Chains A and B, each alone.
Chain A
Amino acid sequence: MQDNEKKSSYLFWYFLVPFLLLLGYKYLKSDTSNDYSNIETSDVAMVAANEVLPETVDYIFHVKPILSDRCYLCHGPDAGTREAGLRLDTQNGAFAALGKNKDRFALVSGDTISSEMVHRILATESSKMMPPEDSNLSLNNYEKQILIKWIEQGAVWKDHWSFVKPIKPEIPVVDIDNTIDKFIHRKLQEKGLSMSVKAKKEKLIRRVYFDLTGLPPSLDDIDAFVNDSSAVAYERVVDKLLNSIRYGEHMATSWLDIARYSDTHGYQDDLERIMWPWRDWVISAFNRNISYDEFIKWQLAGDLIPNATREQVLATGFNRNHKITQEGGVIDEEYRNEYVLDRTNTVSKSLLGLTMECAQCHDHKYDPISQEEYFSFYAFFNKLDEKGRMDYGEIPKPNIKITQKEVKDVLTFINMPDSIPEVNLMVMKDDKQTRKTYILKRGAYDNHGDEVSEGVPETILPFTDKYQKNRLGLTEWLFDEDNTLTARVAVNRLWQQIFGTGIVATSSDFGNQGALPSHPELLDWLAITYREEGWDTKKMIKRMVMSETYQQTSKTTKTLLENDPGNKWLARSSRQKLTAEMIRDNALAASDLLVEKIGGPSVKPYQPEGLWAETTSGQGLTKYIMDKGENLYRRSLYTFWKRTMPPPAMLTFDAATRDFCSVERQKTSTPLQALVMLNDPQLIEASEALAVLLLKNKNVSDKDRIKTIFRRITSRTPDETEVEKLLTFLNDTETNYDAIEKEEFQVSSKFEELDISKKRIYAFTALTSLIFNLDEAIVKG
């Protein structure tokens, strides 16, 4: 008691001055639209304790990240674990009268003394302290001061930014054409930064080739661009790439991660499935630039569109890409439930940017999604006549049969080999309209709670009678002008694809625990523009790559690294690493090995022996049988994906496992990656092929050969120092070869007949491999 009194008296003086200053301050007010002006957007959790407090403390950008991360666990949306009747995630809850006598308040606007929160966060005795010790959570001094200052300034409440409808912001007045640049410029100015110079042409063309097609430019492409001095040279390249069929393949690659696409069923014996005709559709849809709303509508509800075309039905394969078990003895309903959960989680994560799965066992701890709402959303995907356990050799229902005739007549985008007369693949079909959906208590499949019907998290936008109560209605809701998330989430993902990191860095989480947008007005402007332009994806991507922001050099300086190591403000281009697919495709393209055929059954290129055999039960895909001929050299998105033992080199380079929906890949650097680059037979073969390609031409100097190899791999002409170093390496390797008799080294049989010495091939192969291992070979530019 005594301690407490001392504390109170100290607190009294501590807060008296600011309190007096705040007398007369307007109390409790609420904003219902987003005003992002004068906001210092910074990730509070990451700010060091000695950071200067912002002039105006903003609830969304400064306060809520703290409340959400440290307080919501016990004082958030989940009623089941709420302590002391206090909830801090709603305005009513946060300002409510508490205690037996209803005479205490967690928050009182402008009154730090009456605000219990202040006493609790400053308390040092464990019985009072918030967050409590056993939560393993704490607040640093900066965070405490933020909360206190916010209360001092009146504790102005706002709704979470992403649950507020975007309104087209005023475009900053800056003398630049591209609207993206206007927003970026303004923010840079605020930060005392400025844009970097334009990237060198050969860097820029490499970057835009990879970003739009996933492949490197050829030497002719580079030369043509470098020598084209017209003002529209770059735009010409961009238009060419957007119209290239490689664009669709590249865009499809990220979509396959989201759709958890795979060539196997994923559980236990991990049997083969055929879904590649759906993958071919995705490629074609991107190439035809089907508007994003249609693209999604067909995939979620194509079967429910009146007079649905075969193509629209095929598109619904999207939500059948989840794993399916055939393990003997499983309880059917347990797994059927898993599949419905997977569809629910995939749609919410990829299209709404919500971690809705957190509301599977209880109300969401951080976001306004109740368990009831979760299972209402689940209800949309719970109408299939499907089984939990499939049999060996079965094609799970519902499915459709696609024949060669259909492929010739209608589904012309499917690359169906003549050897395959027909395929069956899984699609969506609501054959069990009458199946009831219940809240599953604690998420358990056999623990039914109240019955629910189709619905959504109401905070985003209520699911009124104007929408049909089925998946088609859900797509109408998703693309309703008033839906606060769909457009933002979509443009953010495009931004992430082009710039490396989303405007909201957590592209799968736009909720309370997610990152805040670095450029909120820009995000809203892009979102609304995307919708107003008819969800035209190519147009949106073109806008992004045409910006000056995109075309900056990726060179950085010490100052920039210190001020903005993560490149949040975009005062330079991020030096992005190639993805797993791009790394292999770059090697195939550089060495002229790449077979540019679109679609068809997945292929089995090089893979170390024994990986499947070691882990199999003896059923299903027991042995990896490597393909021959052109299938070894197809683009990596066509590589056969066995979920329980994915292609190891791709996983090493951070490819998604495809066990579930993934909207973002890791970006790591590991020793195993070095080993792949140095020794993967595919890369060694590419090195040899490229070496021989150059050696075939007898009228070129070694220096020129080195330059060409270097350019083919990195898109850049090496300088003299670099060429000299590489030449030294080449000559040393040749000399060394004489000294130690390379008996083990075998030239590929296809090159044996050529009039080139084994020694020369060896040395040039080593040289080419060296260049493939340069850092520059695995970055975009």
Chain B
Amino acid sequence: MEEISKHFLNNNRRHFLKKLGLGIGGLAAASMLDPFSSIVEAADSPLKGMNLPHFAPKAKRVIYLFQSGGPSQLELFDYKPLLHEMRGQDLPDSVRQGQRLTGMTSGQDSFPLVGSQFKFNQYGESRAWVSDLMPYTAKIVDELCFIKSMHTEAINHDPAITFFQTGSQQAGRPSIGSWMSYGLGSLNENLPTFTVLLSRGTGRPLAQPLYSRLWGNGFLSSLHQGVQFRSGKDPVLYLKDPDGMTRSERRKMLDHISELNAKQEQEFGDPEINSRIAQYEMAYRMQTSVPETMDVEGEPDHIIRMYGADSAIPGTYAANCLLARRLVEKDVRFVQLYHMGWDQHDNLPSHIEKQAKDIDQATAALIMDLKQRGLLEDTLVVWGGEFGRTNYSQGALTDTNYGRDHHPKCFTMFMAGGGVKPGFTYGETDDFGYNIVKDPVHVHDLQATMMHLMGVDHTKFTYKHQGRRFRLTDVSGHVVKDLLS
């Protein structure tokens, strides 16, 4: 079998690679599947001539901690004392400036301003503002790079989250993780390049839903689709062998399959057969490597304590943070987490408290854990949701209760590690926390910056589909140079 596949790879690399759907970056993966091959080019690869990465990357891996639902910047990071002073007063038209509102508050008679119910303090040498909701995050602000001036175009969840993940509000484009998998390829030979972990928050019982297209490959090869890692007995769909089958039996079966397939290949000469043989081998390795990665039994107590008690409960955000560290330790290129439940239209104070508690400790622990292992240097951690929330209350404002609607014009995100400035805050909003007054960062700018950190020029990294060259940042986006360390 080996001889045949060697022969083929040498004679027909181009076709082989095309079928595998691999780009230049993917070549690294291909050469690992085929230890003796030293593939240098795929003449018909759409990536030909792009020379990815375009320049030396600062980050080799990404952990994207997506906070689904739209966390309120006003309760977490963007401190606005004026909103306390003006509590209950109507949002001035001069501030709103005709901004379109969602149908959930457009019918309200008034837009009563409301400040955070949670206290703010400045922390660290960087003197970053953080509320009492995030005590663990407060302790590590000198590692973080805050962007206070994020803005987006969408005002509803479905288009807004799709925009963040794919660069377009409407479905159909590849997810950012798929782009990275396609362009930069795999760093390891046992795990998928792009993995996805989901968790449900405690902050809102009816959380915003998620859609598998958010980690979909769009028009790229399905080889680049995000692979969901789940808690439970089958961490990757269909990973577990049928009941009763032993590993040695599985091995034996695969050997037979390879042998019989190789015989077919000799008869029909179809290079696709060899790529299938290689894919079966990868599947076999995943059957071992995935459960190994998911098994946190061996993690010492102090690590579990560091991430919080939840990290011992599979499927929680904390457990997923721990898994994210284990995945990047094994050189998984892109780890995408989603934590649901940040959509606090009503009962915001009580709901956001629980929601923040879900994530605060584990997020901080993840960053510090990466740091102590020397992984933070070349791993980019990104935290944020799909939009922010309004400075006025949705529904009635009472002494103890209020809600906030979606707000696209400003919100806060933070990053850490992989080439971003630590202990740094970028951008400013007005005293109302409604408009950006300094250094706006658009969704496409953030995507351009993330790609830049990965060594990719977002304007040059395109994929031709149906006659048009598509890119993650569509037709806009600027690298925010000030964020780079």
Q: Hey, which bits of chain A sit against chain B, CB under 8 A? A: 46, 48, 136, 138, 267-270, 323, 325, 327-332, 338, 355, 358, 365-366, 389, 506, 508-509, 511-514, 554-558, 560-561, 565, 575, 577, 608, 610, 614-619, 643-646, 648-649, 651-652, 654, 657, 659-660, 666-676, 678-680, 684, 721-722, 725-726, 729, 732-733, 736, 740, 742-746, 762, 765-766, 769-770, 773-776
Contact = CB atoms under 8 A, between A and B. Distances in A.
B272 A770 contact: no
For A358, A643, A659, which residue has the most chain B Cβ atoms within 10 angstroms?
A: A659
B409 to A, nearest CB: 16
A671 B286 contact: yes
Nearest to A616: B209
Contact of B230 (A355, A614, A744): A614
A644 B212 contact: yes
Contact of A725 (B12, B234, B239, B256): B256
Q: Nearest 6 A-B pairs (CB), nearest first?
A: A513-B467, A745-B244, A329-B102, A674-B283, A329-B104, A644-B211
Contacts of B406: 329
A649 B172 CA distance: 19
A558 B248 CA distance: 36
A355 B468 contact: yes
A679 B15 CA distance: 29
A330 B264 CA distance: 55
Contact of B156 (A329, A577, A610): A329
Contacts of B221: 666, 668
A659 B252 contact: no
Nearest to A43: B44
A773 B268 contact: no
Interface of B: 11-12, 14-15, 19-21, 43-44, 49, 100, 102-105, 155-158, 170-172, 192, 198, 200, 205-213, 216, 221-223, 225, 227, 230, 232, 234, 236-246, 248-250, 252-253, 256-257, 259-261, 263-265, 267-273, 275-276, 279-280, 282-283, 286-287, 405-406, 459-460, 462, 466-468
Contact of B171 (A330, A577, A660): A660
Contacts of B171: 323, 657, 659-660
B347 to A, nearest CB: 16
Nearest to B104: A329
Nearest to A613: B200
Contacts of A649: 237-238
Contacts of A775: 261, 264-265, 272-273, 276
Given A513-B467, A733-B252, 19 more contacts: A267-B158, A329-B102, A355-B467, A511-B467, A561-B12, A575-B268, A645-B211, A652-B222, A666-B222, A669-B19, A671-B280, A671-B283, A675-B238, A676-B238, A678-B283, A679-B241, A736-B246, A769-B253, A770-B253
B460 A729 contact: no
Contact of A610 (B170, B232, B462): B232
Nearest to B245: A766
B239 A555 contact: no
A174 to B, nearest CB: 27
Interface of A is mostly: loop
A659 to B, nearest CB: 4
A670 B286 CA distance: 12
A353 to B, nearest CB: 10
Given A508-B466, A565-B14, A674-B280, A575 B156 contact: no
Given A646-B212, A675-B239, A775-B264, A331 B103 contact: yes
A667 B21 CA distance: 9
A618 B206 contact: yes
Given A136-B460, A555-B269, A673-B279, A268 B238 contact: no
A128 B282 CA distance: 50
Contacts of B222: 651-652, 654, 666, 668, 670, 672
B423 to A, nearest CB: 35
A746 B103 contact: no
A269 B155 CA distance: 16
Contacts of A555: 267-269
Contact of A770 (B103, B198, B256): B256
Contacts of A773: 253, 257, 280
A722 B268 CA distance: 16
Contact of B272 (A270, A513, A575, A617): A575
B208 A617 contact: yes
A652 to B, nearest CB: 7
B358 to A, nearest CB: 16
Contacts of A678: 238, 241, 250, 283
B259 A745 contact: no
A669 B275 contact: yes
For B15, B172, B212, B286, which residue has the most chain A Cβ atoms within 10 angstroms?
A: B212
Contacts of A506: 466-467
A494 B118 CA distance: 64
